[in-house]
Homo-oligomer: A and B are copies of this chain.
Amino acid sequence: MASSSTQTDLQRYPRPSLAIDVALLTVVPGYRPHLGVVLVRHRNGDGGPGWCLPGTFVHEGERLADAVRRVLRDKAGLSGVDPRQLHVFDDPARDPRGWVVTVAHADTIRAEDVDTHRSSDHDVTVAPVEGTGASARAQLPDRQRTLPYDHAEILSVATEDLRRRYAEAPDPAGLLPEPFTLLQLRQVHEAVGGRPLQKDTFRRRMEPHLIATDDRTTGTTGRPAQLFRRADSRAQSPEAPEGRAQP
């Protein structure tokens, strides 16, 4: 067990409130598919009601990732996410209410999974995102100009993180249901990367990481397209470990 001196350490120092925020990204289908971010309404901001990223305080005994899942379930009715840690925002003056440290997270979700719920909930929306990385900006509803708190920065880091992951492998976040065509895959990558990609170069770079199925598209105009699955089915994360304590 711990010595008495360390025991007191846990109580000697004031403790911060611990929160999480999450940038849940998706690709919105359409003429040119584009990146979107899930927003929820908040009511107690200084500037009145508005849209922001989902966030919550972490409960005792709760994992950060579980707090992210909880807030997405409670506030947006979404499930099945696997959030990634992005960054800790720790400015003591960040929150006028007191000392609140927040851990920014990111994840992705398929557009279909958001849409089914959005129709029945006016407190959840998907805002289009323009640009990626430092230039990423959400086009907010209701003439709202900016995201509150550090949320714009979280969105920047989240889109940049996603862009980097998509530069290497085909749809590593699984935004596309299998099987898919190379056109569908390329459109998702264009949305995530924020720029057009050439179809031949893209095909040659992705094909080593894909497995062709026996099927092709049918009923569409033009030549039918081969349907593929991801070859690297799983096992592809920089790090996400767990752990331990303190001297």
A245 touches B95 (CB 8 A): yes
B2 touches A100 (CB 8 A): yes
Task: Looking at the assembled complex, report how far the CB atom of A18 sits from the nearest CB atom of chain B, in whole angstroms.
Answer: 5
Q: Tell whether A148 pairs with B244 under 8 Å between CB atoms, given A44-B3, A96-B2.
A: yes
Q: Which of B1, B15, B92 contacts A21 (CB 8 A)?
A: B1
A55 touches B2 (CB 8 A): yes
In the complex, the chain B residue whose C-beta lies closest to that of A164 is B238
Q: Tell whether A2 pairs with B60 under 8 Å between CB atoms, given A21-B246, A150-B242, A245-B100.
A: no
Chain B residue numbers with a CB within 8 Å of A246 are 19, 21, 55-57, 95, 100, 102, 149
Q: Tell whether A57 pairs with B2 under 8 Å between CB atoms, given A17-B13, A100-B10.
A: yes
B150 touches A1 (CB 8 A): yes
A139 within 8 A of B: no
Copies of this subunit: 2
B42 touches A19 (CB 8 A): no
A157 within 8 A of B: yes
- The 5 A-B residue pairs with the shortest CB-CB distance in the complex, in nearest-first order: A1-B149, A150-B243, A149-B244, A95-B245, A2-B19
- Chain B CB count within 10 A is highest, among A9, A21, A61, A242, for A242
In the complex, the chain B residue whose C-beta lies closest to that of A46 is B1
Jot down 15 A-B pairs with beta carbons below 8 A, ordered by A: A1-B55, A1-B151, A2-B21, A2-B44, A2-B96, A7-B97, A9-B17, A9-B57, A13-B58, A52-B247, A89-B243, A90-B242, A102-B246, A149-B243, A150-B245
